[in-house]
Amino acid sequence: MVLLRQLLGDVLRRLRVRQARTLREVSTLARVSLGYLSEVERGQKEASSELLASICGALGVPLSQVLREVSDQFALAELQHAPVLADAPEHERLPISETVPSTMSGPEFDGFPEVKDMVAA
């Protein structure tokens, strides 16, 4: 099972390394201990929303970008586990259209009627 905190840590570490910044530099700017930041990056600690905002500020990236990357990675991880459902009897399987939306662009979220209603409001 993929844990959200592990994916979040991976994304944060990848962003920091891509910027060629050290744990010490980011932890100082984010005002969090170096050890705690290291544990967050290794997926060993759950970071609060305040801490995530502080780390993102130190990295100079919007929190929404980090969460989007985490969401994309989570979706990929879920899809990789999809073959397990192939062993389920046919009557227990959902059609693909009910489990994975065909498109997520624009206000036409046909797979998510509640979202469509919110966009229309």
Residue 111 has pLDDT above 90, yes or no: no
Q: What band does 116 get if pLDDT is binned at 50, 70 and 90?
A: very low
DSSP, residue by residue, 63-111: HHHHHHHHHHHHHHHHHHTGGGGGGS-GGGPPPHHHHS-S--SSS--TT
What is the rounded distance in angstroms from the CA atom of residue 52 to the CA atom of residue 57? 8
Residue type, 104: M
16 phi/psi in degrees, rounded to 5: -65, -45
Query: What does pTM read for this prediction?
Result: 0.66
pLDDT in tens, 4-27: 999 999 999 999 999 999 999 999
pLDDT in tens, 54-93: 999 999 999 999 999 999 998 888 888 754 444 445 554 4
What is the rounded distance in angstroms from the CA atom of residue 3 to the CA atom of residue 118? 29
